[in-house]
Homo-oligomer: A and B are copies of this chain.
Amino acid sequence: MTGPALQFDLFRQDGQARLGRVTTRHGAFDTPAFMPVGTQGTIKGMLPDHIAATGSQIILGNTYHLMLRPGEQTVAALGDLHRFMAWPGPILTDSGGFQVFSLADINRIGDDGVTFKSHIDGATVHLTPERSMAVQNALGADIIMAFDECPPGTAPIEYQQKALERTLRWAKVSVDSHARSNDQSLFGIVQGGTSEKLRAFCAEELIKLDLPGYAVGGLAVGEGFEAMKAVLSFTTPILPVGKPRYLMGVGFPRDIVAGVARGIDMFDCVMPTRNGRNAYAFTANGAIRLRNAQYSRDTGPLEDGCDCYSCRTFTRGAIRHFFSADEMLGPILVSVHNVRFYQRLMTDIRQAIAENQFDEFQRTDPRCGLGPTERTKVVNG
């Protein structure tokens, strides 16, 4: 066991790419894994049976949103987050740190924690590593995250350093405050911006805590694709081989493939569902924007050859109409497709690693090039 409540089996490496499986108290998931994001206790527009049908094996919940509404005590009174979301499989919750620093109206960042105004009712909220752990313990996810500070990538190096020291202090407080280490596994988060020195220092300090897994945070926040790859290239080799590695908030298919190539095992991103709600469907040949009039009488599926419910059931023309008419079915169907698109990508990545063909896969599969500028610049939507 990697921890009391987590086992990581590493089956094979192909270059830096790793094929494995993480086993939790609520079941296992194959790695590299993609986790759809259930911000407020639901993956927007998707029922649990749809989520499972996409091949998703683990999902993510947001501590920040759930602590503000309905409140972690309400989730606990209703069972736990698994029962609340009707998702019996593995769940990971983040620490709330990223949302506080990206969404909230912050009053004060102190050495003990952060004070901010709730975006729901304006109430003053104080979030500390102790409180983040208490909330995550009440929610009951299988993997929980240490509370960290996420400074903007543009912050001066002096501030980055100060934030990093705080992140390390908070990681230790998180470990000490974690009340359910027997059934919840606490991962540490490596911060340090684009500085190799800071990343190495942070990783080494966290490794001393002997945590069951490690995340790389503070990426996918505007630093750019090349910088992300550079940070991963010098960070993951420091991390222990026998523990899962999670790249937070990433990303486009291109970014995920680059992460796998640099030894990352777990990913999460709102992109498949958020883009799906905006009529943006992923396909191997680039994104399609369903609001575009060219699809109005298109009898084909969202993506040729896709086995998802949406592609098996509805024409592009009908889905375009659902968006035009502001019907829920549009966002639902494209979200289902996009999550399945991501999970098919992960399945094919795992297969390529299993066959020692990951380099070939990276070079030849068109999905590996899908990023923000790849054929997605359509005007509508």
Q: Which residues of A contact B (CB under 8 A)?
A: 40-42, 44-45, 47-49, 65, 69-70, 74, 77-79, 83-86, 296-297, 299, 309, 313-315, 317-318, 320-322, 324-325, 327-329, 331-332
User: In the bound complex, do residue B315 and residue A78 qualify as a contact, i.e. CB atoms below 8 Å apart?
Assistant: yes
Question: Given the complex, which residues of B lie within 8 Å of A49, measured CB to CB?
Answer: 309
User: In the bound complex, do residue B86 and residue A317 qualify as a contact, i.e. CB atoms below 8 Å apart?
Assistant: no
Question: Given the complex, which residues of B lie within 8 Å of A44, measured CB to CB?
Answer: 327-329
Min CB gap A265→B, angstroms: 29
Q: How far is the CA of A267 from the CA of B29 in the complex (A)?
A: 47
User: In the bound complex, do residue B321 and residue A41 qualify as a contact, i.e. CB atoms below 8 Å apart?
Assistant: yes
25 CB < 8 A contacts A-B? A40-B321, A40-B327, A41-B325, A42-B322, A42-B327, A42-B328, A44-B329, A45-B328, A45-B332, A47-B329, A48-B313, A65-B325, A69-B325, A70-B321, A74-B296, A74-B297, A74-B321, A77-B297, A77-B299, A78-B299, A78-B318, A84-B321, A86-B313, A328-B331, A328-B332
User: In the bound complex, do residue A315 and residue B79 qualify as a contact, i.e. CB atoms below 8 Å apart?
Assistant: yes
Given contacts A41-B322, A296-B70, contact A78 B328 (CB under 8 A): no
Which B residue's beta carbon lies closest to that of A77? B297
Q: How far is the CA of A296 from the CA of B309 in the complex (A)?
A: 33
User: In the bound complex, do residue A70 and residue B317 qualify as a contact, i.e. CB atoms below 8 Å apart?
Assistant: yes
Chain copies in the assembly? 2
Question: Given the complex, which residues of B lie within 8 Å of A315, measured CB to CB?
Answer: 78-79, 83-84
Min CB gap A319→B, angstroms: 10
Question: Given the complex, which residues of B lie within 8 Å of A327, measured CB to CB?
Answer: 40-42, 44
Q: How far is the CA of A325 from the CA of B75 in the complex (A)?
A: 14
Min CB gap A45→B, angstroms: 5
Kindly list 11 other residue pairs between chains A and B, CB separation below 8 angstroms, not including A45-B329, A49-B309, A79-B315: A42-B328, A44-B327, A45-B328, A47-B332, A69-B321, A69-B324, A74-B296, A74-B317, A78-B317, A78-B318, A328-B328
Question: Given the complex, which residues of B lie within 8 Å of A296, measured CB to CB?
Answer: 70, 74
Q: How far is the CA of A297 from the CA of B70 in the complex (A)?
A: 10
State the 10 A-B residue pairs at the shortest beta-carbon distance, nearest first: A77-B297, A70-B321, A78-B317, A42-B329, A40-B325, A86-B313, A45-B328, A84-B318, A42-B327, A78-B315
Q: How far is the CA of A102 from the CA of B270 in the complex (A)?
A: 41
Question: Given the complex, which residues of B lie within 8 Å of A85, measured CB to CB?
Answer: 318
User: In the bound complex, do residue B86 and residue A314 qualify as a contact, i.e. CB atoms below 8 Å apart?
Assistant: yes
User: In the bound complex, do residue B317 and residue A77 qualify as a contact, i.e. CB atoms below 8 Å apart?
Assistant: yes
Min CB gap A300→B, angstroms: 10
Which B residue's beta carbon lies closest to that of A40? B325
User: In the bound complex, do residue A47 and residue B309 qualify as a contact, i.e. CB atoms below 8 Å apart?
Assistant: yes
8 Å CB contact of A324 from B47, B70, B83, B329: B70
Q: How far is the CA of A49 from the CA of B86 in the complex (A)?
A: 19
Question: Given the complex, which residues of B lie within 8 Å of A325, measured CB to CB?
Answer: 40-41, 65, 69-70
